[in-house]
A = this chain, B = another copy of it.
């Protein structure tokens, strides 16, 4: 049975990836700092602080996975874009990729980011849009993908890179855009926001995980966007949530100025994914937002107004 190691299986995207993995057959190994996690049958848990390159290398040498899905990285909202912890993750991931090759690994899939691109008005195309990341996060992710490719070339393993656009859905941090708006609306607090005209590619996290795991089990190598290909304004997201809650008056568009570093459009071109993997997102934004809202209200025991 194929041995599969997943890192970051307790993170936002990792949790969904682990669920998708468990629909397949395999000898599943997962790593967390404590060595504990989802108690479903069929997962062997390992304790490791992956930012420590020596520990990461030792783990890979012990598990000797054939497939490695590397979803661990610093993701703390408000912190991840500029923290030097990104450099530690780059160093540790590179060491892990080398250990993976040296221990007979055959296929390495890592999670990249839309922040690697210098986006234009059109959708980002994996092998055409310039890689000119503006954040420490984007730079370290782009550097890591080059490093993984170098290790893959030397050791002869296959490598793919899933460039994630804007995931949302169950398990999202309350400090990220959509949960924070939902929470404000439910608490009847004002929602102070930009004009919200920037266009983004929001992807429902379970869909993103489905694509990532499909990529893991494919033979495709190279970079692949993980998005929907559909541009949506932040304004649409907020207006829809506010309308669903019956509280459009709480929203103050234009109360905040957008950061000058924010690109006006950041959307995936999904042609390569469609052609090579035959995949497209099944959950449109409206349906995804409705699910997020329904999930939140369910946990509250109903809408309190």
Residues of A whose CB lies within 8 Å of any CB of B are 82-84, 86-87, 90-91, 94-95, 98, 127, 130-133, 135-136, 139-140, 142-144, 146-147, 149-151, 153-155
Contacts and interface: CB of A to CB of B under 8 A. Distances in A.
B94 A150 contact: no
B147 A143 contact: yes
A109 to B, nearest CB: 18
A151 B139 CA distance: 10
Contacts of A83: 154
A96 to B, nearest CB: 12
A82 B154 contact: yes
Contacts of A153: 82, 135-136, 139
Contacts of A140: 146-147, 150
Nearest to A116: B146
A82 to B, nearest CB: 7
A150 B143 contact: yes
Given A84-B150, A136-B153, A139-B150, 5 more contacts: A83-B154, A84-B155, A87-B154, A136-B150, A143-B143
Contacts of A84: 98, 150-151, 154-155
A151 B143 CA distance: 12
Contacts of A132: 127
13 contacts: A82-B153, A84-B154, A84-B155, A87-B147, A87-B150, A87-B151, A91-B91, A136-B153, A139-B147, A139-B149, A140-B150, A143-B143, A143-B150
Nearest to A139: B150
A135 B131 CA distance: 18
Contacts of A87: 94, 98, 147, 150-151, 154
